[in-house]
Chain A
């Protein structure tokens, strides 16, 4: 069984590095795409096509002045961004990145932990994300930061509710909480998005709000609260807060793809006549194509829609998304009853 442990360790390291690299380059892609949407070229000076831009940004953040407010709670002040980063990375543990690889007599699943409460784990982890923001805003000992943190926290909690409700319909359909089983059930083209379109919309919109992406990027309120919860943060600590947004975006895209778009399944996968291992690799590639599309969607929406006003944001979360999620649950329940 030692081989399995070795494989899992390697997988954890690969996934962590992959999330970091993808998030790093998502910052560049975001700036590039923002440029293209605005008929500009975007950054293209550092390296060929600007591929060294994220490195330059990182170096810049490390060398900027590190400022800590004198009245800040030192321990919590450092804990805030670290916690945000840690939580952003934790979510990747239960995502099935692919089917299984069979080498010799050993079967290696491309998933770090196939826990039978996969979705609950994801929700547990993402809801701790509020702590990162709240601790950051509170420990800064600054009214603006604290108010920004309260705003962000209430936004995240409100949208978490609609998100959880939209998932219940999926759980009712599939009868399992394990992400691996949910993905396996969407074999071929039986993707959940065809059966749960309302749930899909509610989930995606909530995911946008959870990642603090436009039109829900109220935590970054430059004009009203001079920056929101990270007002007092500088250099790499601020970098951690901003960077974790991109990791969250990557993990959210992975979860959306695996819950609603069949994860590593792709149409006609068994008509290709590939062997099991090659099929797994092709599935993983298909999964990453889906993830890339959703990351692009995040950016596409960001550079299209204007930001919500705070009362609109709250009204939308509680009076629109939540009722629709509940209607979806009831409708799914009735359909499931009729079917059986």
Chain B
């Protein structure tokens, strides 16, 4: 077994090191230098790996977990009922919320009788695991493929409802991450949150 392990190579480019005497031609180094120059010269015409960032964005995986969004329903009402399951499931304890009871006049704003008056995620604490999304019984919070922009002050990374809630006229598409596997997982009744 141990002998087999020694034969394993990470790449097929490894070479056996030897201290053999160099021949006269090798001692001149020039053939080796010209070979090296040839190698670098071929790189002049290779395809470049640079991605010119602001114009070209690097493609992210279809299940990439980026900045969160608080969804609204079809009528534009906030889906979140401030149950606190997301905050409870958050391993980094990044989510805080303050619940409030809905007034009669606010029925067009919030879907349930209770809503989150304050909903904050600390983007520096968040580990983007997606547990909040899995825990949410109201399909209210999702992770999207958007990036959290860089900031200079730490306070700016605490995202309130002003940044998390999706605008009514510019809905955020979260269907991309809802692959069959993710949907199957959410329907799995053996999981605590789905009972």
Q: Is A301 a contact partner of B44 (Cβ separation < 8 A)? A: no
Q: How far is the CB of A266 from chain B (nearest CB, A)?
A: 24
Separation of A39 and B40 alpha carbons in the complex (Å): 10
Q: A36-B43, A39-B43 are in contact. Are A301 and B49 (CB under 8 A)?
A: no
Separation of A189 and B37 alpha carbons in the complex (Å): 26
Separation of A38 and B33 alpha carbons in the complex (Å): 18
Q: Is A41 a contact partner of B41 (Cβ separation < 8 A)? A: no
Q: Is A300 a contact partner of B40 (Cβ separation < 8 A)? A: yes
Which B-chain residue is minimally distant from A301 (CB atoms)? B37
Separation of A39 and B41 alpha carbons in the complex (Å): 11
Kindly identify which residue among B33, B41, B44, B46 contacts A305, using a CB–CB cutoff of 8 Å. B33
Which A-chain residue is minimally distant from B40 (CB atoms)? A304
Asked if A108 is at the interface of the complex by the 8 Å CB criterion, the answer is no
Interface hits, B49-69 → A, CB 8 Å: 49-50, 52
0/1 interface trace, chain A 39-68, chain B, CB 8 Å (1 if under): 111001000000000000000000000000
Q: Is A40 a contact partner of B40 (Cβ separation < 8 A)? A: no
Separation of A33 and B39 alpha carbons in the complex (Å): 14
Cβ contacts under 8 Å, B46 to chain A? 39
Which A-chain residue is minimally distant from B43 (CB atoms)? A37
Kindly identify which residue among B33, B44, B52 contacts A41, using a CB–CB cutoff of 8 Å. B52
Q: A37-B43, A38-B43, A39-B47 are in contact. Are A305 and B52 (CB under 8 A)?
A: no
Q: How far is the CB of A33 from chain B (nearest CB, A)?
A: 8
Q: How far is the CB of A320 from chain B (nearest CB, A)?
A: 9
Q: Is A37 a contact partner of B40 (Cβ separation < 8 A)? A: yes
0/1 interface trace, chain B 1-41, chain A, CB 8 Å (1 if under): 00000000000000000000000000000100100110111
Which A-chain residue is minimally distant from B47 (CB atoms)? A39
Kindly identify which residue among A33, A36, A41, A304 contacts B37, using a CB–CB cutoff of 8 Å. A304
Cβ contacts under 8 Å, A36 to chain B? 43-44, 48
Instruction: Classify chain A: how many residues form its interface, as a range.
Output: 10 to 19
Separation of A301 and B46 alpha carbons in the complex (Å): 18
Q: Is B48 a contact partner of A41 (Cβ separation < 8 A)? A: yes
Cβ contacts under 8 Å, B49 to chain A? 39-40
Asked if A303 is at the interface of the complex by the 8 Å CB criterion, the answer is yes
Which A-chain residue is minimally distant from B46 (CB atoms)? A39
Interface hits, A26-41 → B, CB 8 Å: 33, 35-41
Cβ contacts under 8 Å, B50 to chain A? 35, 40-41
Q: Is B52 a contact partner of A303 (Cβ separation < 8 A)? A: no
Kindly identify which residue among B37, B47, B48, B52 contacts A300, using a CB–CB cutoff of 8 Å. B37
Separation of A300 and B47 alpha carbons in the complex (Å): 18
Instruction: With a 10 A CB-CB cut-off, give which of A44, A201, A301, A304 has the most chain B CB atoms.
Output: A304
Separation of A44 and B30 alpha carbons in the complex (Å): 34
Cβ contacts under 8 Å, A41 to chain B? 48, 50, 52
Interface hits, B117-154 → A, CB 8 Å: none
Separation of A39 and B51 alpha carbons in the complex (Å): 11
Q: Is B47 a contact partner of A303 (Cβ separation < 8 A)? A: no
Q: Is A37 a contact partner of B44 (Cβ separation < 8 A)? A: yes
Q: Is B36 a contact partner of A304 (Cβ separation < 8 A)? A: yes
Cβ contacts under 8 Å, A303 to chain B? 40
Cβ contacts under 8 Å, A37 to chain B? 40, 43-44
Cβ contacts under 8 Å, A201 to chain B? 30
Separation of A300 and B49 alpha carbons in the complex (Å): 20
Separation of A305 and B38 alpha carbons in the complex (Å): 12
Which A-chain residue is minimally distant from B49 (CB atoms)? A39
Cβ contacts under 8 Å, A33 to chain B? 44
Cβ contacts under 8 Å, A301 to chain B? 33, 37
Cβ contacts A to B, 26 pairs, < 8 Å:
A35-B48, A36-B43, A36-B48, A37-B40, A37-B43, A38-B43, A39-B43, A39-B46, A39-B47, A39-B48, A40-B48, A40-B49, A41-B50, A41-B52, A44-B52, A201-B30, A300-B37, A300-B41, A301-B33, A301-B37, A303-B40, A304-B33, A304-B37, A304-B39, A305-B33, A305-B36
- Contact surface of B with A, Cβ cutoff 8 Å: 30, 33, 36-37, 39-41, 43-44, 46-50, 52
* Extra contacts besides A39-B49, A300-B37, A305-B33 (7): CB < 8 Å: A41-B48, A44-B52, A201-B30, A300-B40, A300-B41, A301-B37, A304-B37
- Contact surface of A with B, Cβ cutoff 8 Å: 33, 35-41, 44, 201, 300-301, 303-305
